[in-house]
Amino acid sequence: MMAIRSPQPAPAQNPAVTVDVLVFTIREDALQVALIKRGIEPFKGSWAIPGGFVLPHESLEEAAAREVREEAGVTDVFLEQLYTFGRPDRDPRCRTITVAYYALVPSVHIHLSASTDAAEASWFPVKRLPPLAFDHADILQTALERLKSKLEYSSIAYALLPERFRLSELQKVYEVILDRKLDKRNFRKRILSLDLLEATDQVDAGGAHRPARLYRFKERRIVSFD
């Protein structure tokens, strides 16, 4: 069976396409996200997820990686496409479709840079966010859900930690993302049984207490379990 439908012509003007990147890290025992304060209208003075146009020669992922590099000065970070947001009215200026990515950077000193159309850049704990521009609150919510669910069945946590870490640091990553306390014995039993980690022969240079053994991920890449 065959029928003819009316064609949809190419629109007179294409929508603008941007890539927005949520850069997450763990700081001060909290999950934090990098935001910029907008220096131009619309939403001048509001905080927003950093992003920019996709250039003609680059892929979406390359555009996202460039954004992370410009924003946080880091390369080789975990970067994954999140979702594409395209409500017709999401940008009052013109039709804009944004492909959102999220990046995970290790909890070390990350130097945020403000871009030209941003007055300021800063980390915010995801539990204490300022009002966000555009539909960025939706995007952030989507990212937090993805992060929680991926943490449960994959090894993404490696991307938030330095190469060597204490098991208690790894547990803290799980706790701040899942937003609940975990039992130490059960956590260690489960995480070690996954066979993703190996103990190193080093211990940390901690404080006035028993030093902890340092572990590392056997592979510093995403592995799914379950």
Partner DNA sequence: TGAATAGTGTCTTTCAGACAATATGCC
Partner DNA sequence: GGCATATTGTCTGAAAGACACTATTCA
Distance from CA of residue 102 to its chain's centroid? 3
Partner whose binding site includes residue 81, from DNA, a copy of itself, none (CB under 5 to 8 Å by kind): a copy of itself
Among 29, 42, 45, 59, binds a copy of itself (CB under 8 A): 59
Applying the rule CB under 8 A, the residues between 2 and 31 that interact with a copy of itself are: 2-11, 13-17
152 contacts: CB under 8 Å, gap ≥ 6: 178, 226
By CB under 7 A, tell whether 180 contacts DNA.
Answer: no
The H or E element that residue 82 is part of is strand 78-85
Does 120 qualify as catalytic in the annotation? yes
Q: By rule CB under 8 A, what string of x and - marks binding of each residue 69-98 to a copy of itself?
A: -x----------x-xx-xxx------x-x-
Alpha helices in 41-85 (DSSP H): 60-72
State how beta strands 197-203 and 213-217 pair.
Answer: antiparallel
Distance from CA of residue 181 to its chain's centroid? 22
Q: Which residues are catalytic?
A: 120
The residues binding a copy of itself (CB under 8 A) are 1-11, 13-17, 52-60, 70, 81, 83-84, 86-88, 95, 97, 99, 111-117, 120-121
